[in-house]
């Protein structure tokens, strides 16, 4: 069995038993963390000197649409609903090869930024071959990946298209039959539910019962008030259903979510860039026991990786807390119990412990402790030194993706010394751009011509 010893690290474990410990070794055997302690036996182990590094759990992105990766920069400054009108129509033109190119590039970028687990909320499945391409991309990238098989299926141009909703059940059963879906598996399957509303709740009930019958966890775009309550009213809400966004959730929704031991997946950059959404659900949920997790969501708009999401979450929550205090006449603002709502430690947990648990991996990933899968990140602090105070503060406030030196997933090194392992980056980028150009050609578009095509204010300029 392969052995790797990370020597002399500053361990930020996100595990209550291990805590934060300086000058500590972490021994990995096979795919598992075997020991954490000072001066461990190195016999037979490949030793990685982690002096000057923070050793932390790999981060968990609980909601991204990786098929969009070829269009990085498109509608980067979109406002309001422009993302939906400018990006979503393109999915129709994707072949399985295009989907593979986008998803693989997104997974590699995520790994490079220290994300070791990805929930790919895949809205680009038009045929069984598209689903297979997504699974292959996860396998080839070597990330811990969950394929979120979307039931909605907006794919008018694909032939023959998989119709939306229950028509997709047989293909989901087929994919499920190819996977054991154990928590320690690197490739797993989840189901993305159709929209939930009073009109469609019967369909949602069928989808939830179907998903549970396969042992699949679920997620959906929770973009309206009362959706969690609608599912709970049918007695079906459980922590295995992960609402994404939840910006419009009512307090009642969040209380029900908290009572179920549930999670909320928020994407701070994606939810704020277009000026459409409230972010109050994070604090409201946090106060009633909802465990918050993070994601990137739309790689057309922003880079993958969770360090920017954590930092924005930190400042955004403080901004909102301060606004409420000032609104209520508390000037100057003063620290009191519950204000500010979050600290860096909470937010680091969002990206690690909570993210893993939100995907059903709470027992196997998101923490550095014996028995957990060896999903490990080394963050280099040597250039500018470690920040003082809570080391979670260094990670959330004082680091960048460029500091991610080493990434291990399930005991296998995917990045070392700042360089990706086993990835032909040139080919990956070429494939990504070729996929973009094929899709644009079918859609009758030209790369770089988009501003004029879509945005009136650019046309007039
Ligand atoms: Zn989304």
As a whole number of Å, the CA-based R_g of the chain is 22
CA of 79 to the centre of ligand 1 (A): 16
26 neighbors 8 (Cβ within 8 angstroms): no
CA of 299 to the centre of ligand 1 (A): 10
pLDDT at 13 over 90: yes
Percent of the chain with pLDDT over 90: 86
Question: What whole-number distance in Å separates Cα of residue 119 and Cα of residue 224?
Answer: 22
What is the DSSP track for 304-370?
SSSHHHHHHHHHHHHHHHHHHHHHTT--S---BTTBSS--HHHHHHIIIIIHHHHTT-TTTSSS-ST
pLDDT band at 81 (very low <50, low <70, confident <90, very high): confident
pLDDT at 454 over 50: no
CA of 244 to the centre of ligand 1 (A): 7
pLDDT one-digit tens code per residue, 112-165: 999 999 999 999 999 999 999 999 999 999 999 999 999 997 665 555 678 889
* 19-28, 65-74, 370-379: range with lowest mean pLDDT: 65-74
- pLDDT for 78 equals 83
CA of 88 to the centre of ligand 1 (A): 11
294 neighbors 267 (Cβ within 8 angstroms): yes
Question: What whole-number distance in Å separates Cα of residue 401 and Cα of residue 419?
Answer: 12
Tokens encoding 339: 């204000």
What are the φ/ψ torsions at residue 126 (nearest 5 degrees)?
Answer: -100, -25
Q: Indicate the angle between helix axes 96-112 and 425-443, nearest 10 degrees.
A: 140
What is the DSSP track for 9-71?
EEEE---TTT-EEEEEEEEEETTEEEEEESS---TT-EEEE-TTEEEEEPEEEEEE-GGGGGG
Candidate CATH numbers 3.40.50.620, 1.20.1250.20, 3.90.1150.10, 2.30.40.10; the one for domain 3-57+366-420 = 2.30.40.10
pLDDT band at 445 (very low <50, low <70, confident <90, very high): confident
CA of 440 to the centre of ligand 1 (A): 22
pLDDT one-digit tens code per residue, 233-265: 999 999 999 999 999 999 999 999 999 999 999
188 Rama class: left (phi>0) / alpha (psi -120 to 50) / beta: beta
* Chain mean position to CA 194: 19
CA of 301 to the centre of ligand 1 (A): 12
CA of 61 to the centre of ligand 1 (A): 12
CA of 33 to the centre of ligand 1 (A): 32
CA of 65 to the centre of ligand 1 (A): 6
Percent of the chain with pLDDT over 70: 95
CA of 296 to the centre of ligand 1 (A): 9
CA of 117 to the centre of ligand 1 (A): 17
* 38-42, 55-59, 72-76, 425-429: range with lowest mean pLDDT: 72-76
Average pLDDT over residues 423-449: 90
pLDDT at 448 over 90: no
pLDDT one-digit tens code per residue, 392-425: 999 999 999 999 999 999 999 999 999 999 999 9
- pLDDT for 122 equals 97
- Residues with C-beta atoms within 5 A of ion ligand 1: 297
CA of 54 to the centre of ligand 1 (A): 31
pTM of the model: 0.96
CA of 405 to the centre of ligand 1 (A): 29
Burial class of residue 155, CB neighbours in 10 A (0-12, 13-18, 19+): buried
CA of 121 to the centre of ligand 1 (A): 7
pLDDT one-digit tens code per residue, 257-314: 999 999 999 999 999 998 889 999 999 999 999 999 999 999 999 999 999 999 999 9
* 64-68, 413-417, 439-443: range with lowest mean pLDDT: 439-443
Domain residue limits, the chain: 3-57+366-420, 59-358
Q: How far is CA 215 from CA 145, 182, 273, 315, 387, in A?
A: 16, 10, 35, 38, 43
- pLDDT for 410 equals 98
The CATH homologous superfamily to which domain 59-358 belongs is: Metal-dependent hydrolases (3.20.20.140)
CA-based nearest residue to 186, from 309, 58, 291, 316: 58
What is the DSSP track for 225-252?
TTHHHHHHHTT---TTEEEEE-TT--HH
Asked whether the domain spanning 59-358 has the same topology as the one spanning 3-57+366-420, the reply is no
CA of 376 to the centre of ligand 1 (A): 26
CA of 198 to the centre of ligand 1 (A): 21
CA of 220 to the centre of ligand 1 (A): 8
**What is the average pLDDT score of the chain?**
94
Using the structure block, give the residue that is written with the tokens 């969002």. Answer: 350
């Amino acid at each position: 069995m392969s052995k790797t010893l990370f020597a002399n690290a500053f361990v930020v474990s996100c595990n209550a038993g291990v805590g934060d410990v300086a000058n500590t070794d972490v021994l990995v055997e096979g795919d598992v963390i075997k020991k954490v302690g000072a001066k461990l036996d190195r016999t037979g182990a490949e030793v990685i000197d982690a002096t000057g590094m923070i050793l932390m759990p790999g981060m968990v992105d609980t909601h991204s649409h990786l098929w969009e990766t070829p269009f990085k920069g498109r509608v980067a400054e979109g406002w309001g609903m422009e993302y939906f009108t400018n990006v979503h129509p393109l999915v129709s033109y994707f072949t399985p090869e295009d989907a593979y190119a986008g998803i693989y590039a997104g997974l590699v970028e995520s790994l490079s930024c220290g994300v070791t687990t990805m929930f790919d909320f895949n809205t680009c499945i038009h045929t069984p071959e598209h689903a297979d391409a997504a699974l292959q991309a996860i396998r080839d990238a070597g990330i811990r990946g969950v394929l979120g098989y979307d039931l909605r299926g907006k794919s008018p141009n694909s032939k023959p298209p998989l119709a939306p909703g229950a028509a997709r059940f047989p293909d989901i059963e087929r994919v499920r039959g190819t996977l054991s879906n154990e928590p320690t598996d690197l490739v797993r399957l989840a189901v993305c539910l159709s929209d939930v509303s009073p009109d469609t709740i019967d369909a949602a009930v069928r989808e939830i019962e179907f998903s549970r019958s396969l042992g699949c966890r679920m997620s959906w775009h929770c973009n309206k008030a009362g959706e969690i309550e609608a599912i709970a009213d049918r007695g079906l809400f459980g922590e295995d259903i992960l609402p994404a966004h939840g910006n419009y959730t009512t307090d009642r929704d969040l209380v029900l979510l908290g009572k179920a031991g549930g999670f909320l997946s928020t994407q701070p950059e994606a939810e704020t860039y277009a000026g459409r959404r409230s972010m109050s659900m994070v604090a409201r949920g946090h106060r009633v026991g909802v465990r918050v997790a993070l994601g990137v969501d739309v790689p057309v708009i922003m880079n993958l990786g969770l360090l920017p999401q954590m930092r924005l979450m930190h400042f955004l929550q403080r901004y909102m807390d301060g606004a409420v205090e000032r609104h209520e006449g508390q000037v100057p603002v003063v620290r009191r119990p519950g204000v500010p709502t979050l600290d860096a430690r909470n937010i680091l947990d969002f990206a690690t412990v909570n993210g893993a648990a939100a995907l059903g991996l709470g027992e196997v990933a998101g923490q550095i402790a014996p028995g957990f899968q060896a999903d490990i990140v080394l963050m280099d602090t040597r250039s500018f030194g470690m920040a003082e105070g809570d080391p979670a503060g260094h990670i959330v406030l004082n680091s960048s993706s460029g500091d991610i030196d080493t990434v291990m997933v399930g005991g296998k090194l995917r990045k070392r010394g700042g360089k990706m392992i086993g990835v032909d980056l040139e080919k990956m980028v070429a494939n990504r751009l070729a996929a973009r150009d094929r899709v644009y050609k079918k859609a009758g578009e030209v790369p770089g011509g988009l501003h004029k095509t879509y945005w009136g204010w650019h046309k007039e300029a």
